[in-house]
Amino acid sequence: MTVMIEARNAMFSFGRTPALRGASIAVDAGEILAVMGPSGSGKSTLLHCLAGILVPDSGEILFDGARVDSMTETERSSLRRDRFGFVFQFGQLVPELTAAENVALPLLLSGVRRTEALRKAYGWFERLGLDGMEQRRSGELSGGQAQRVALARGLVAGPEVLFADEPTGALDSLTGEHVMELLVTAAREQGTTVILVTHEPRVAAYADREVIVRDGRVNAPERIAP
Amino acid sequence: MSVPLTLLGLLEREPSHGYDLKRDYDAYFGRGKPLPFGQVYSTLSRLARDGKVVISEVGPGAGPDRKRYIITDLGATEVDQWLIQPVEPEPHLQTVLFAKVVLSLMLDRPASDYLDTQRSSHLQRMRELTEIKRAGSLVDALLADHGLYHLEADLRWIEMTGARLDALRKTVRP
């Protein structure tokens, strides 16, 4: 397997409070990895460092062999826009835009023409069971529908890595399960690597393996052969 | 799983032959462990002896499969009572997990390593059940969910215990 994204001995502090204390992790291409750990353990910070949102104080972040931690802000921004996708706990849709425009957003930001971006966005609505929701705004969607729209937005540009931070945290069990099913199916179809932060074991069980973050370090169990 | 009560429950839907009961039992409740024919017929014989089922007709072949079983009022009452009676909630206070953690601490072994290994093992089983759920029928999913929620409860206990190991160590190794 080829390593797609990696943290090597990453350290990061918020002011004087250390969040990562030498976190190391390697995620293979196409792998779905669950990052678990107690609140405040550093799992979201690790995700943000891997995604190039935060830059570690020391240590290395590598994506596809390139050092993310030494990129400029503009380079990291391009990386996030063109090669990564994101899904957060509360969807974080843009309320002024329709659901279809929200899904099309990553494509529009990458310079895809509006008609083409919307055509691609519309294709996701049927796939995620959201037929007829295209023109709704986020306030007119249920939590599960909004999260599926957010999932479509995270995947529409065919990212190489999808970062999902508690993607089902705000949903009831059945809706959360539906979202996870769609996420895993779509990621597998596209060959997308997924890094999934969750504290819910049932969500982590959709991943190929899990790592536990504790006190800013990663505890990875031995890989179990499939 | 109470085989006699489950067979009675299946009979409450409609009178059935032993073969049909076995087929439905295996489909819904057997889950890879089919009920032996011998057990089906011995159970039905006992239920008949106890007045919970009656045999309505015996076909010309006179073999065991020719008998058609009908639930009696006594049998139906028993099923009703069984269905409304809650299962004893097990406190699970003396599980193997608990014993291993306490003994590890008593013997100054790395209890946190054990908990990590156990967590990994639980999650591996949860992955298997999730796959069964994704690939299987709704009945498979329902059963897998039952297992998943129980494993999740264990995992929550593992997390809580992991956070309390220092305090627990002082208690068991004063």
ipTM of the complex: 0.82
* Closest to A25 (Cα-Cα) out of A16, A14, A51: A51
Cβ contacts of B98 within 8 Å, gap of 6 or more: B92
- In chain B, the percentage of residues whose pLDDT exceeds 90 is 40
Q: Chain B contacts of A205, Cβ < 8 Å?
A: 123, 126-127, 129-130, 148
Contacting residues of A for B120, CB less than 8 Å apart: 210, 221-222, 224
How would residue A59 be classed by pLDDT, with cut points 50, 70 and 90? very high
Pairing state of beta strands A193-197 and A161-165? parallel
Strands (E), chain B: 16-17, 53-58, 67-71
> What percent of chain A is modeled with pLDDT above 90?
75
pLDDT reading at A222 higher than 70: no
pLDDT at B101: 83
Chains A, B: CB contacts within 8 A come to 39
A217 to chain B: which residues are within 8 Å by CB?
A: none
Q: Are the Cβ atoms of A221 and B116 closer than 8 angstroms?
A: yes
**Residue A225: per-residue pLDDT:** 44
Average pLDDT over residues B4-33: 88
Closest chain A CA to residue B129: A205
A78 to chain B, closest Cα gap in Å: 35
Nearest alpha-carbon partner for B37 in B25, B54, B48, B28: B25
Q: What is the pLDDT of residues A73-99, one digit of tens each?
A: 999 999 999 999 999 887 789 999 999
Q: With beta carbons under 8 A apart, name residues in chain B contacting A202.
A: 126, 130, 148-149, 152
Q: Strands of A58-63's sheet, edge to edge? A: A17-28, A3-14, A58-63, A66-67
pLDDT at B1: 61
The model's pTM is 0.79
How far is the CA of A95 from the CAs of A70, A107, A137, in angstroms?
34, 18, 6
* Residue A54 pLDDT > 90: yes
CA nearest to B80, candidates B3, B15, B12, B22: B12
Which of residues B106 and A7 earns the better pLDDT score?
A7
Question: pLDDT at residue A224 above 60?
Answer: no
Q: In residues, how long is chain B?
A: 174
Residue B87 has pLDDT above 80, yes or no: no
Average pLDDT over residues B17-37: 88
Q: What's the confidence (pLDDT) of residue B96? A: 74
Identify whether the C-beta of residue A124 lies closer than 8 Å to the C-beta of residue A152.
yes
Phi, psi values for residue A101, rounded to 5°: -65, -35
| Per-residue pLDDT, B169 | 87
pLDDT digits (tens, 9 = 90+) for A182-209: 899 989 999 999 999 998 999 999 999 9
Mean pLDDT of A114-142: 91
Q: Which of A170, A209, A204 lies closest to B156 in space, CA to CA?
A: A204
Q: What is the rounded radius of gyration, in angstroms, for the C-alpha atoms of chain A?
A: 17
Answer yes or no: do A224 and B124 touch at CB < 8 A.
yes
Strand arrangement of the beta sheet that strand A161-165 belongs to = A84-87, A161-165, A193-197, A32-36, A209-214, A217-219
Q: Measure A208 CA to nearest chain B CA, in Å.
A: 8
Range of weakest confidence among A21-30, A166-175, B46-55: A166-175
Top-ranked range on mean pLDDT: pick from B12-26, B40-54, B96-110: B40-54
CA distance A223 to B46: 51
Q: How many CA atoms lie within 13 A of A39 on its CB side?
A: 1
Q: Is A224 on the interface with B (CB under 8 A)?
A: yes
Residue whose token pair is 């990663």: A218
Interface test with A, best of B122, B123, B150 (most A CBs within 10 A): B123
Contact between B130 and A206 using a beta-carbon 8 Å cutoff? yes
Please enumerate residues of B whose Cβ is less than 8 A from a Cβ of A: 116-117, 119-120, 122-124, 126-127, 129-130, 134, 148-149, 151-152, 155, 159, 163
DSSP class of A71: S
Q: Mutate which of A189, A212, A214, A218 to test chain B, going by most B C-beta atoms within 10 A?
A: A212
Compute the mean pLDDT over every residue in chain A, rounded to the nearest whole number: 91
User: How far is B85 from chain A, CA to nearest CA, in Å?
Assistant: 26
First to last CA, chain B: 43
Is A99's Cβ below 8 Å from some Cβ in B?
no
DSSP string for A126-178: HHTT-TT-TT-BGGGS-HHHHHHHHHHHHHTT--SEEEEESTTTTS-HHHHHH
pLDDT at B62: 45
Q: What percent of chain B has pLDDT over 70?
A: 89
The shortest C-alpha distance from B168 to chain A (Å) reads 19
Q: How far is A210 from chain B (nearest CA, A)?
A: 8
* B90-143 per-position pLDDT tens digit: 555 556 777 788 878 887 888 888 888 888 888 999 999 999 998 988 988 999
Q: Is the pLDDT of residue A114 over 60?
A: yes
Q: Rounded to whole angstroms, how far apart are CA atoms A201 and A178? A: 16
What Rg do the C-alpha atoms of chain B give, in angstroms?
23
Q: Is the pLDDT of residue B55 over 80?
A: yes
- Chain A residues close to B163, C-beta within 8 Å: 38
Task: Read off φ and ψ for residue A134, nearest 5 degrees.
Answer: -55, -40
Closest-CA residue to A36 (of A206, A223, A212, A188): A212
Query: Per residue in A147-188, pLDDT tens?
Result: 999 999 999 999 999 999 998 888 888 888 888 998 999 899
Nearest to B123 among A181, A205, A219 (CB): A205
Q: Which residues 137-156 in chain A show a CB within 8 A of chain B?
A: none
Roughly what angle, to the nearest 10 degrees, separates helices B165-172 and B111-135?
Answer: 130
A26 close to A221: Cβ distance less than 8 angstroms: no
